[in-house]
Amino acid sequence: MDNGRGTAIGLLFLKSVGEGAATEVFAAVSPKAVPLAGNYLADSNVMKPRADAEDAALATRLWAESEKIVQAL
């Protein structure tokens, strides 16, 4: 049963669809994004990603697992 609290909390912490898509749209079509290519963007700004996002060993493992999944299709 929804008592409305979930919606109220969501309005405080969640982005709208437009807000959620803004960074991807910025990166895809804005000339201002060209010099930022290859960087991690959040809220249309360059940000430092989490440590695991830059973990080369984890990336290698992810790639290998992804290949297994694709080959199984």
Is residue 25 included in any domain, yes or no? Answer: yes
Question: Looking at the 3D structure of the chain, how many domains does it have?
Answer: 1
Is residue 41 included in any domain, yes or no? Answer: yes
Cα–Cα distance list, 18 to 26, 63, 69 (Å): 12, 31, 32
Q: Dump pLDDT digits (tens) for 23-73.
A: 999 999 999 999 999 999 999 999 999 999 999 999 999 999 999 999 999
- Looking at residue 13, its pLDDT comes to 79
Is residue 38 included in any domain, yes or no? Answer: yes
Is residue 1 included in any domain, yes or no? Answer: no
- Looking at residue 6, its pLDDT comes to 60
- Looking at residue 12, its pLDDT comes to 73
Is residue 66 included in any domain, yes or no? Answer: yes
Distance CA 73, CA 10 (A): 37
Is residue 3 included in any domain, yes or no? Answer: no
